[in-house]
Amino acid sequence: MLEPQDGFHKTERALIPIVEQFGRTMTAALLSRFDMAAATVRFDGVLYRNAGPRQKTYHTLWGKVGVRRRVFVPVHDSGSGQLVPLERRAGLINARTTPAAARAMAFVVQSVPGREAQKLCQELGVLPYSHDTLDKLAKGLGRLWEEDRERYEDRLIEALEIPERAHGISVAVDRVQISVDETPPAPAGKPAKERVVVGRMAYCASLTLHDKKGEPLLTRRYGRMPHESDALIREQLLWDTKNILGRRFDLDRVALSDGGVDMQGWLDKDFPDWTKLCDFYHLSGYLGSALGAVRLTLPERAQRLDAWKHRLSYEQGAAKAIVGELRGWKTRAEAVHTAIGYMAARLGRMDYATVHARGLPIGSGHVEATCKQLVTVRMKRTRQRWTVEGAQNILNLRTLATSDLWEKAMDIVLKKRVEHVEVLEEFRRAA
């Protein structure tokens, strides 16, 4: 019995195993209600007969529970394997994990790596599993999303409510490097091969609706591992924008990227009629470097850069004028010539004043934040390396969590796991 001097926090912590035990007992009892005692059932057009009860351990929010449930086998040799009605009717994930447990595991692991997830769960008094179990089961849910991704994504965009005060829509694209383990499998009986870890680009995109002042109303984030190309993320982004514009064709439009030729080519091909801009803040970086290469004091540099940024935001033709100003400096400084070359090649994408006046963003901050939230914060930690599949499973979960789509997405994917098993009260073996 805890004494008052032990502190109430210890009293609260002492309740955790009691709550866990209660949770396991109740969950096991609830799972048992999904069992079926019928002699014969039909599932997916196949007839099954009751082969009797067997014990199995399941993962729940409160820990592992053992449940005695009935197993059915095909009446005829159909090659369908055994059927466990409890698992189908309760919508268990991977035939082992309860939906609420799988959802919670996935949310924790998309936020932090497995070992941190294990410590977090221990502190919260839920999901008492090893980091390997948490990681495996969470990625399993991400894999289920990937298997039927197109259908799920269609349902999400169709359910998206466009705010009445939406005035404009912006898309922004970028990419970020991630370490991928491409070690070939070792032949049977041979020692493991030396690790082959290479840098691969993960593609990121954002779709944002804005009010008349350019303030964001909602943002949808996208992240895809490259696989063979950037086709999947392009297809998804284009489909979603067409869906929104099909309902609100009046929305003003802008597409943003950094100065990379590949990103600009993506936007030119997929959004040919949209206004395209180079990110305002990438340009500011080039201008800042140019000012740092000439003989100006720090206050003079800051003042000149602020003046240029103001002109770019409010004066049409400002970018061309600034290029002329830089050329007039007659300096050999590399940073100055780099800025001139960068701007001169992209003047057609630097009409910031016009876009700003239309109440649309001139910076690609939303996709920069997407790269950081989806990839950098979670997937670029010290010594982390990924397989393409494992990385995509986590990206699937993170795009949903960071786009405020978690609740809707989990409702869609977990409901699909619930399947109907038909009871046959009377069954006569075919002659």
Per residue in 260-316, pLDDT tens? 999 999 999 999 999 999 999 999 999 999 999 988 889 999 999 999 999 999 999
* 6 has a pLDDT exceeding 80: no
Domain count, the chain: 3
- For residue 161, count other CB atoms closer than 10 A to its CB: 6
Residue 405 lies in a domain: no
- 242 and 124 in one domain? no
pLDDT at 429: 46
Residue 402 lies in a domain: no
pLDDT at 427: 53
pLDDT at 190: 77
Mean pLDDT of 409-419: 94
pLDDT-derived band at 426, boundaries 50, 70, 90:
low
- 126 and 8 in one domain? yes
Mean pLDDT of 107-119: 94
* 378 has a pLDDT exceeding 80: yes
Residue 193 lies in a domain: yes
pLDDT at 79: 74
- 174 and 98 in one domain? no
In this structure, what DSSP letter does residue 34 have?
Answer: T
Q: What would the two tokens of residue 12 be?
A: 């609260």
Q: Report the mean per-residue pLDDT for the chain.
A: 91
Q: What would the two tokens of residue 73 be?
A: 């086998």
- 300 and 187 in one domain? no
**Low-confidence winner among 182-191, 230-239, 363-372, 397-406 (lowest mean pLDDT):** 182-191
Residue 388 lies in a domain: no
Q: Which domain holds residue 203?
A: 164-275
Q: Give the total residue count for the chain.
A: 431
CA dihedral sign of residues 227, 221, 276, 249:
positive
Mean pLDDT of 223-233: 80
Q: Could you report the per-residue pLDDT of 32-42, keeping only the tens digit for each? A: 999 999 999 99
- 101 and 9 in one domain? yes
Closest CA to 295 of 349, 336, 254, 327: 336
Closest CA to 32 of 72, 82, 67, 71: 67
Domain boundary among 218, 245, 275: 275
Contact (Cβ atoms closer than 8 angstroms) between residue 27 and residue 60: yes
Q: What would the two tokens of residue 383 be?
A: 């010594």
- 138 and 77 in one domain? yes
Q: Which residue has the tokens 């098993």?
A: 421
Contact (Cβ atoms closer than 8 angstroms) between residue 44 and residue 422: no
Residue 381 lies in a domain: no
Residue 124 lies in a domain: yes
pLDDT-derived band at 320, boundaries 50, 70, 90:
very high
Determine how β-strand 63-74 pairs with β-strand 275-278.
unpaired
Indicate the pTM of the whole model. 0.88
Closest CA to 369 of 220, 214, 169, 253: 220
Q: What would the two tokens of residue 411 be?
A: 């409702």
Closest CA to 370 of 202, 183, 160, 123: 202
* 251 has a pLDDT exceeding 90: yes
Residue 208 lies in a domain: yes
Domain boundary among 275, 298, 322: 275
Mean pLDDT of 219-244: 89
The H or E element containing residue 416 is helix 406-416
**Low-confidence winner among 32-46, 73-87, 121-135 (lowest mean pLDDT):** 73-87
Residue 153 lies in a domain: no
- 330 and 296 in one domain? yes
Domain boundary among 226, 248, 275: 275
Contact (Cβ atoms closer than 8 angstroms) between residue 166 and residue 211: yes
Please give the full DSSP string across 246-259, using - where no structure is assigned: HH-TT-EEEEEE-S
pLDDT at 8: 82
Q: Could you report the per-residue pLDDT of 175-226, keeping only the tens digit for each? A: 999 998 888 887 777 777 788 888 888 999 999 999 999 999 999 999 998 7
